[in-house]
Structure 1
Amino acid sequence: MTKQACRYAVVRFVPYPESEEFANIGIVMAVPKSNRFLFRLEINDVRYSRFFKNLPKGLYKQLAKDLESEYTAIQRLVSTNKANALQAFERLVVPRSNIVAFGGQRTLLLQNQPEKKLDRLFDHYVHHAFTRKEGHETRLKRQVRQVIDDLRLERPFRPHTFKLYEGELPVQVDLAQVVDEKVIKVIKPFYFDLTTKEGLWDHADKWIPKLVRLKRAGELPERTLLPLDHSSGNQRQLDALEDIKRELADLGTVIRAEEHDKIRSFALDS
């Protein structure tokens, strides 16, 4: 199958150019052979408004809206052959003195389905730290499970899938204790990677809304334990983690993951 070349660049949010800090927020792509312009943007502003502490309220949300309008307009012109995809891409990524920059410009060869490659690039660059975090959390889950398994409980903790909205929104947890078909305890370990802006908030933004929905639906038991571990980080990253811990504290009991005695006491408590 013939391969086709495409160009892509990473969209960066640079609210304070003087500090040279940035966050990857999207991908733009040109496929010259089929004259296509593609893009994907992160529209969730929570992560960025929390990390950049002095960020004016609503700035990122408005920026994402403006960028989406701009890129959609380019896409429309290209799709109707009123513009050339590669030329539009090259004009777009020219360096400018504003809060949006472009990095990681590369050319690659694709056989088909550039949309799938766009999604993979988005996951890699915008959610990159999340993929690294998973390995740590998998090990943390295994450690917590070993602590519980050593207790040889009559009613062991097992994986459980909550089925919200008649199964439309499944939420799976690895450690749940069920009695008479009712979940009475949940243990949900968390590992947060503080080494990048995306690493901390991606994970929090994935899980906190799920737990909130479970609680509102009356499915999350009052006895929910949240063992937490994290990588090293600077003071600002640690402050951000404290914000997340306060949110988690509304959903369960937050402890340090190494507090095995508390995990045992929680599991044994009838």
Structure 2
Amino acid sequence: MKKHAISYAIIRFQPHVETEEFANIGIVLVAPRLSYLDFRLETRRLSRLTGFFDNLEPATIRGVLKNYNAELKRIRDLAGHTGDGQARFEFDLTDNADHLFHALTKDREGIIRFSEVRFAMSERPREKLDELFDHYVRRNFANSVYKEGLLERHVRSALRLGEIGQNFKRMSFTDGVYSANFPFVEVINDKPLKILKPIYLGQDEPTRILDHGNKWMFTINRLKKILPPDVVFAVEGPNGSSLRERAFRETLEQFKANDIRVVDAKNDRELLAAMDS
């Protein structure tokens, strides 16, 4: 599939010009050659806004976002975009979608502001919009990749304290098409014997927990013939939500059904016992 040039800007909530403080609340994106103009705006998870701008009434913040969401829908419809990646009718390449995008993101005073316009290439603008929203607004890198990195550091420290860290090294495995990196592979006499993979499963939505678990199950099953026979997942799960807990338990059961051992990443004694067995 051909990649297309896209432009996007981050939508920012900036109620106090004097302090220049702002919070990212959305993304607006245009792919001119596809006559594609669309946006995503955070209208549900507002605790970050109400907590940070605590001198504003929550109802005021909700009202501003509700009204701006309606305005963005109106502008999107002017471009002929219906929200499913299809335009209602064709435009010249320099016409509505691109023109409306640049008019919308032009710097002006107000509570709603925009970042500078940024550029990228993508085969699927709608998926790129979701990806950018997850990164800049939902900050999913902090909820999974970042926290998994912290988990990896904790496991490394536990192995070091257990005086077995020197036996583990980072290794990559590939079947020629698909490849994966593992931070802890036990190697004895140049032979990989065991994989220890820290996995964070405390994502903020049950679907994301299941998706992340499925990703690693696919990886293990895909590379099973070339991986060491012993695979251990050191996991950290969610707190507080019954639905997230249910997704977490289902994921652990799937791991075990696929001959993957599971230990509590924060229980150093359990972790080291699994490494000795």
User: For this structure pair, what is the TM-score category when the shorter chain's length is used for normalisation?
Assistant: 0.5 to 0.7
Q: Structure 2: how far apart are the matches of 1:228 and 1:74?
A: 45
Q: Given the alignment of the two structures, is residue 252 of structure 1 paired with residue 260 of structure 2, yes or no? A: yes
The aligned residue for residue 175 of structure 2 is 164
Larger radius of gyration: 2
**Shift, 1:28, TM fit:** 7.1
Whether contact under 8 Å (1:6, 1:107) holds in the other structure is no
TM-score (norm 1): 0.58
The aligned residue for residue 209 of structure 2 is 200
Helix, strand or coil: the match of 2:167?
coil
Whether contact under 8 Å (1:36, 1:75) holds in the other structure is no
Whether contact under 8 Å (2:7, 2:29) holds in the other structure is no
5+ unaligned residues in a row in structure 2: which ranges?
Answer: 1-5, 12-26, 40-80, 102-111
> Which amino acid in the other structure matches residue 192 of structure 1?
L
Whether contact under 8 Å (1:7, 1:31) holds in the other structure is no
CA offsets, 1:60-105, max 9 Å, x none? xxxxxxx99952x429834x6598326999xxxxxxxxxxxxxxx9
* Pairwise CA RMSD: 4.3
Equivalent residue in structure 2 for 1:223, among 230, 247, 263: 230
Helix, strand or coil: the match of 1:219?
coil
Helix, strand or coil: the match of 2:163?
coil
CA offsets, 1:5-46, max 9 Å, x none? 86799xxxxxxxxxxxxxxxxx873367x7842679xxxxxx
Q: Structure 1: how far apart are the matches of 2:82 and 2:186?
A: 45
**Shift, 1:243, TM fit:** 1.4
Matches within 5 A, 1:170-185: 170-185=179-194
> Which amino acid in the other structure matches residue 196 of structure 2?
I
Q: Structure 1: how far apart are the matches of 2:182 and 2:246?
A: 27
Q: Structure 1: how far apart are the matches of 2:274 and 2:88?
A: 55
Helix, strand or coil: the match of 2:274?
helix
Whether contact under 8 Å (1:149, 1:156) holds in the other structure is no
Whether contact under 8 Å (1:30, 1:85) holds in the other structure is yes
CA offsets, 1:101-125, max 9 Å, x none? xxxx986542544759x67753342
Helix, strand or coil: the match of 2:179?
strand
Matches within 5 A, 1:76-225: 77-78=90-91, 84-85=96-97, 109-110=116-117, 112-113=119-120, 115=122, 121-126=129-134, 128=138, 130-132=140-142, 133-153=144-164, 156-165=167-176, 168-197=177-206, 199-215=208-224, 218-225=225-232
Q: Structure 2: how far apart are the matches of 1:76 and 1:264?
A: 63
Q: Structure 2: how far apart are the matches of 1:7 and 1:111?
A: 6
5+ unaligned residues in a row in structure 1: which ranges?
Answer: 10-26, 41-66, 90-104
CA offsets, 1:104-152, max 9 Å, x none? x986542544759x67753342464641222322222112112212233
**Shift, 1:199, TM fit:** 4.1
Q: Given the alignment of the two structures, is residue 265 of structure 1 paired with residue 273 of structure 2, yes or no? A: yes
Q: Structure 1: how far apart are the matches of 2:167 and 2:9?
A: 52
The aligned residue for residue 47 of structure 1 is none
> Which amino acid in the other structure matches residue 141 of structure 2?
T
Q: Structure 2: how far apart are the matches of 1:241 and 1:154?
A: 28
**Shift, 1:176, TM fit:** 0.3
Helix, strand or coil: the match of 1:74?
coil
> Which amino acid in the other structure matches residue 265 of structure 2?
A
> Which amino acid in the other structure matches residue 37 of structure 1?
Y
- C-alpha change, 1:6 and 1:248, in structure 2 (3 Å) is closer
In percent, how many aligned pairs have the same letter? 18
Q: Which has the higher contact order (CA 8 A, sep 6+)?
A: 1
Helix, strand or coil: the match of 1:183?
strand
- C-alpha change, 1:260 and 1:76, in structure 2 (3 Å) is farther
- C-alpha change, 1:28 and 1:205, in structure 2 (3 Å) is farther
The aligned residue for residue 30 of structure 1 is 30
